[in-house]
Structure 1
Amino acid sequence: MSEGSDLILARMMALHPKIIDLTLDRVWRLLAALGHPERTLPPVIHIAGTNGKGSTQAMIRAGLEAMGDKVHAYTSPHLARFHERIRLAGDLISEDYLSEILEECEEANAGIPITYFEITTCAALLAFARTAADWTLLEVGLGGRLDATNVVEKPRLTVITPVSIDHQQYLGETLPEIAGEKAGILKRGVPCVVGPQEDAALEVIEAKAAKLVAPLLVHGQHWTAWEERGRLIFQDETGLLDLPLPNLPGPHQIDNAGAALAALRHLGATEAACEASVTKAYWPARMQRLTQGPLVEAAGVCELWLDGGHNPAGGVAVASTLARMAPKPTHLVLGMLNTKDIAGYLRPVAAQARTLTAVSIPGEANTLSAEETQAAAAKAGIEAGTAESVLAAVTRIAAKDPGARILICGSLYLAGGVLRENG
């Protein structure tokens, strides 16, 4: 009988002193010990970018599955349970199988230093290689060039969603440096779908693609997507699609849907599959309306929303989504990591928020304290207080302003904790 995956994952956390240490040497060593599973995967679609990777991947998956294809998918981080990271031929990996492949990787690694993300990515690749499917969707964890997912020699397609400033301590201080890391997933001769980019990022991606003779399908050049009369219009060199708006809320999802549709059309997807990609995608904690659970009960007649965006571009996405919702006083419950640009996140959001209640993220060593978050909010011009917990914050807001909108936001780690607590 295998041990529970939680125990094995806890041991894996201790195999390397750093959570992030970007290099591929340890990954190559372990993949070799495992018999190179990365060489026998079903056709790979590899997705990098600062924002929108997960939503774009979810839409591509919905489209492929609508054609009856079986799809493996790898995402990170997870929200409530580790199993969310690994989807085998459409279904979340089972506890027994997860424990089995983690144990096999642990044994093959033989106690040699390796980061948690590296060893768990190897486990995912092993599971994918051993399970029949039509496609493998790999979402980059961080950056691209040195990310543990960047081990597939010849993917079928790569995708780069919008690149913005984030994770500077690992990827570089400037947009061109960060774009260079993301463009590290480009492979010789392999087509790449490129989402909307600032010129400085696009120049870097185009230069890298030219060196590798990798054909690009660039937003604004080869395809475009926009909203018109409550519909999503997509146009590429094949023609026009007139589709329902994405079921994932927010104007930024138009661009993510565009990248997903560009990928699907390149792969020969039917119009029905393209429609399913925008209407059937499921991606939690991205402007997700919570409709049941203890937090919803505490919110009473208030609307309760959850979003995991955590960088300035995420703040812009949240603000533009709120701006298009029915007018209602909006109160934020915010927790952020100290590695994030909180001022950059709050700048666009401030105009949409009546108040902000700051919380620390439970169990996260790198959380900003509620007091630090409150000070940042006050500096951004938002009336701010603190609360001991998300539940306390929601309860207090609901009592003071019944019928308002409450948005819990600022971090995927906070969102994950909320989803766990709220059942």
Structure 2
Amino acid sequence: MSADSSDVILDRMMSLHPKIIDLTLDRVWRLLHALGDPQDRLPPVIHIAGTNGKGSVQAMLRAGIEGAGRRAHAYTSPHLVRFHERIRLAGDLIDESALTAVLDECEAANGGADITYFEITTCAALLAFSRAAADYTLLEVGLGGRLDATNVVDPVLTIITPVSMDHQGYLGETLEEIAAEKAGILKPGVPCIVGRQDDAALEVIERQAARLGAPLLVQGQDWHVMPEEGRLVYQDEAGLLDLPLPRLMGHHQFDNAGIALAAMRQLGLPETAHDAAMQRVAWPARMQYLTRGPLPEAAPRAELWLDGGHNPAAGASLARTLGDMPPKPLHLICGMLNTKDPVGYLTPLAPLAQSLHAVSIDGVTATLSAAETAAAAREAGMQATEAATVLDAVRAIAASDPDARILVCGSLYLAGTVLAENG
């Protein structure tokens, strides 16, 4: 085994391919074969694609599986603070020695050939999963589905969360094209849980499912979920569930909970899983309330929230969540990537926010500059200014409006920076 730390190996892996994103499966299949095809030795796989909600659905599903006394591997991306967050072995984050071992093995098997960072690290995750006992493997798509590095498995269940406009440069310029990429995870005869979709996206998914003979369980047709008198009501042909509301905030989390519940029903998990999925779920940077660290200390009378949503659909969901909260002056601190649609994201938030402080995201080459984000905010109808850091922005807001509600938003990369710096 190499004496290098996982961080050193990961840094080397960043240089193996000139493009960060290059959607094809050829390089992944080559490396997996060199590793002895670990994708064929996984615990039963649930494969999750979609534009928004993948991580929340996976987190609820994992909480439900664990609440039923079973164990799940889980793979997600990107990480917020440390790479280890991407890989959970039987419920626990992969430790440094295990991560270093599989990264080292993948690097050696790859032999310096072209391969993207996501591709080789996905192979490392599959290798780790193949060597640890668990009841399920929860595999979240990185980008798209059809040509995503995770699409090398034979799942027992697939899930497609809501599809919306995002990553158009890689997935297509229309909702139908993007939905076709997401539907690429469908497999012959394998059931798929489908979350709430626009008609155009659903038609594409249904056509692909019909071609493959993949049974669909579609929200609004085969199952229904809604909040009712402070509870969550889920219903399908097996009957009605009356459950606590999910711990994750926002109306969109009701739909995400429904997707997770439909999946648990399909997997035949016991009733103990349903309550656990709602009550035990934890998923950082999704309307996370910050109470400790330098940022809350800089604004002791303010509410400080953190959210990593970053596309127009996420902006709309976030606006609805904020609109349902008790009234309080709202100020945004926003940083975004140059691959996103900042005006589309910020437009639903504009009527709610009194100001926006724009920041760049340290250490991220694809960041929009603070000036670019501020310009997008003005185009969306906001009063916007620039700040050197998130802490500077918090201090400025606290000085002018000490009892404010402050939301740091716009990117999971910014959220990760905030969580790392805020302890």
Gaps of 5+ in 2: none
**Is the contact made by 2:51 and 2:161 (CA closer than 8 Å) also made in structure 1?**
yes
One-letter identity of the residue aligned with 2:12:
R
The question of 1:266 aligning with 2:266 is answered yes
- Which residue matches 1:30? 31
Maintained 8 Å contact 1:342/1:376? yes
1:129 aligns with 2:135: no
Aligned mates of 1:351, 1:239 — CA distance in 2: 41
Superposition pairs of residues 10-409 of structure 1, within 5 angstroms: 10-152=11-153, 154-409=154-409
Residue by residue, what CA displacement relative to the aligned partner does 1:248-267 show, whole Å, maximum 9, x if unpaired? 00000000000000000111
* 1:120-150 alpha-carbon deviations (Å, 9 max, x no partner): 0000000000001100000000000000000
CA distance in 1, matches of 2:40, 2:378: 52
Distance 2:366 2:124 in 1: 27
Partner Cα distance (1:207, 1:379) in 2: 38
Deviation at 1:366, TM superposition (A): 1.4
Shift of 1:301: 1.1
Q: Normalised by the size of structure 2, how large is the TM-score?
A: 0.99
Greater alpha carbon shift after TM alignment, 69-78 vs 294-303:
294-303
Whole-Å Cα distance in 2 between the matches of residues 19 and 379 of structure 1?
Answer: 30
Query: Helix, strand or coil: the match of 1:79?
Result: coil
Using the TM superposition, give the Cα deviation of residue 342 of structure 1 relative to its aligned residue in structure 2, in angstroms: 0.7
Amino acid at match of 1:387: A
Contact 2:51/2:164 (<8 A) preserved: yes
Cα shift readout 1:362-399 (whole Å, capped 9, x = no counterpart)? 11111111111111111222111111000000111111
Offset from partner CA, 1:50-85 (integer Å, 9 cap, x none): 000000000000001001111100000000000000
Q: CA-to-partner distance for each residue in 1:83-129, whole Å, 9 max, x for gaps?
A: 00000000000011101110000000000000000000000000000
Partner AA of 1:111 in structure 2: G
Residue 241 of structure 2 aligns to a residue in which SS? strand
- Deviation for aligned residue 1:298: 1.0
SS at match of 2:406: strand
Q: Distance in 2 between matches of 1:293 and 1:96?
A: 29
Q: 1:271 Cα shift?
A: 2.2
Question: 1:372, 1:15 → 2: CA distance?
Answer: 31
| Cα displacement (A) at 1:294 | 0.9
How far the C-alpha of 1:2 sits from its partner, in A, is 3.0
C-alpha RMSD of matched pairs (Å): 0.7
Task: Give the secondary-structure state (helix, strand or coil) at the position aligned to 2:339.
Answer: coil
- Letter of the 1:305 counterpart: W
Q: Deviations over 1:338-371 (max 9, x none)?
A: 1111111011111111110011111111111111
Partners of 1:377 and 1:145 in 2: how far apart? Answer: 34
In 2, are the aligned partners of 1:2 and 1:96 still within 8 Å (CA)?
no
Letter matched to residue 118 of structure 2: F
- Which whole-Å CA distance do the structure 1 matches of 2:185 and 2:214 have between them? 11
Distance of 2:254 and 2:145 partners within structure 1: 24
4+ residue runs of structure 1 moved beyond 6 angstroms?
A: none
Determine helix, strand or coil for the equivalent of 1:68: coil
Q: Quote the offset at 1:317 in angstroms.
A: 1.2
Residues of 2 paired with 1:123 and 1:110: CA distance?
14
Identity %: 70
Instruction: Name the CA distance, whole Å, in 2 between partners of 1:139 and 1:339.
Output: 21
For 1:86 and 1:313, the matched residues in 2 are separated by 27
Contact kept? 2:347, 2:381, Cα under 8 Å: no
Q: Cα offset for 1:272?
A: 2.2
Query: Can you list the C-alpha shifts for 1:303-360, whole angstroms capped at 9, x where unaligned?
Result: 1000000000010111011001111001000001111111110111111111100111
SS at match of 1:250: coil
Give the Cα separation in 2 of the matches to 1:238 and 1:419: 41
Amino acid at match of 1:48: A
Aligned to 1:410: 410
Residues in 1 aligned to 2:208 and 2:162: alpha-carbon distance in whole angstroms: 16
Cα deviation for residue 231 of structure 1 reads 1.0
- Aligned to 2:115, the other structure's residue is in SS state coil
AA aligned to 1:25 is D
TM-superposed deviation, 1:270:
2.1
Query: Quick one: distance in 1 between partners of 2:338 and 2:93?
Result: 31
Moved more, 233-242 or 83-92: 233-242
